[in-house]
Amino acid sequence: MNPTRPAAVAGSFYPERPEQLAEAVQSLLRSAEMHETAAPTPPKAVIVPHAGYIYSGPIAASAYALIAPWRKLISRVVLLGPVHRVPVRGLALPQTGGFETPLGVVPLDTEAMVALARLPQVTQSAAAHAWEHSLEVQLPFLQQVLDQFSLVPLAVGDASPEEVAGVLDYLWGGPETLIVISSDLSHYLPYDTAKKFDESTAMSIVNLEAPVNHEQACGGTAINGLMLAAQRRHLHPELLDLRNSGDTAGDRNRVVGYGAFAFFEEPILAH
């Protein structure tokens, strides 16, 4: 097992210099905290986007701002994101002991990974993780909002909702375990079309109306698995933020949609 997976998209998706990266994330979190009301209980799971920070960072921050008050409680993160470069069957673990960002190395929960590898839908693929941004871009946020934590990173390929839910059930744990699903929403639609399309997708997620397809969300496979687990465990989803690249840093001719959602084990009053 290689010691660490080096950062692959530092300098493109997010700042490469540690001090600039820390300030960028803190700035996004401060802006989000101005709009978010602290929840009385920690979210069990969140769905967050994974584009470059100038595009999707403000939306992702709305979920991470909810996590920050629980920085001493949450000590393990189960992180699922779709593969963009290397196809895999099932869900792929890396072959490393840590994931590196400019802010340091995040240790992996290797004990849980060894146990998880016994499941038939779980494989190992260094290649699937080497250049995958959907997982990596979440790490600086997690490094800023949590104290000490370990990571179980899974690159999600061709898998059924039942297979994803089985992995989540296996790793569910208690309040120390946070599940993070990385996904953008619609891709390259005109602004007004995307807005209506993403609103429909967001309602499907909040109402736990699966399935969400890959035109609606590139991380639809993992989202569907989470929704299945959420139905069984009676989680309560909330929409935190819904925007697109035309709202943040892009033009409005062809936009990418971004949503942030939190799933709670107890009902949370609307903000």
Average pLDDT over residues 98-121: 97
β-partners of residue 227 are none
The residue length of the chain stands at: 271
The alpha helices in 34-173, defined as continuous H runs, are 53-67, 110-116, 126-130, 133-136, 139-145, 161-171
pLDDT score recorded for residue 271: 44
Gap between the Cα atoms of 44 and 42, Å rounded: 6
pLDDT tens digits for range 184-239: 999 999 999 999 999 999 999 999 998 999 999 999 999 999 999 999 999 999 99
Please, what are the domains in the chain?
40-264 (3.40.830.10)
d(CA 167, CA 150) in angstroms, rounded, equals 17
Q: How many CA atoms lie within 13 A of 106 on its CB side?
A: 32
Give me the pLDDT at residue 269, please: 53
User: Cα-flanking dihedrals φ and ψ of residue 20, to 5°?
Assistant: -70, -40
pLDDT tens for 52-104 read 999 999 999 999 999 999 999 999 999 999 999 999 999 999 999 999 999 99
Mean pLDDT of 13-32: 98
Structure tokens at 172: 């569910």
Residue 1 clears pLDDT 70, i.e. is over it: no
Check pLDDT > 70 for residue 270: no
Of 11-15, 36-40, 188-192, the poorest mean pLDDT is in: 36-40
- 239 sits in which H/E element: strand 236-244
